[in-house]
């Protein structure tokens, strides 16, 4: 599942296309209300997000969440809930966060639950 705003439509469509090539089904939830997004995220196993309002909604509903941070500080703006973690880019460029680092954090969270 991907959550998306109007400005993300092209990017999320590209991601969905790549996932489908690998036979991974993907639903895009676009421009939904905060309540609906919160209810959906609350029922997921894990939500991974960059530093967005949706990440904070995930923390608020106490979802398992990993926040990805580039130029902003994860220790200051990360998900503040018992099931939240964050990864800070060592270079302050979010694109420099390694997939392996996200995967390891995801395993840590999922093994707890």
Reduced to 3 states, what is the DSSP secondary structure of residue 86?
strand
pTM of the full structure? 0.86
Specify the domain boundaries for CATH 3.40.50.2000 within the chain.
Answer: 32-112
User: Which CATH topology does 32-112 take?
Assistant: Rossmann fold (3.40.50)
Joined tokens for residue 74: 């994860």
Joined tokens for residue 99: 């997939």
pLDDT in tens, 59-80: 999 999 999 999 999 999 999 8
Return the pLDDT at 41.
Answer: 94
pLDDT in tens, 84-112: 999 999 999 999 999 999 999 999 999 98
């Amino acid at each position: 599942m991907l959550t998306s705003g109007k400005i993300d439509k092209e990017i999320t469509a590209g991601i969905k296309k790549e996932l489908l090539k690998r036979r991974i089904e993907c639903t895009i939830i676009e421009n939904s209300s905060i309540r609906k997004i919160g209810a959906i995220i609350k029922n997921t196993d894990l939500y991974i997000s960059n530093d967005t309002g949706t990440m904070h909604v995930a923390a608020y509903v106490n979802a398992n969440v990993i926040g990805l941070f580039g130029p902003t500080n994860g220790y200051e703006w990360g998900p503040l809930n018992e099931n939240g973690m964050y990864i800070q880019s060592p270079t302050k460029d979010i694109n420099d966060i390694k997939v392996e680092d996200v995967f390891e954090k995801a395993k840590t969270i999922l093994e707890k639950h």
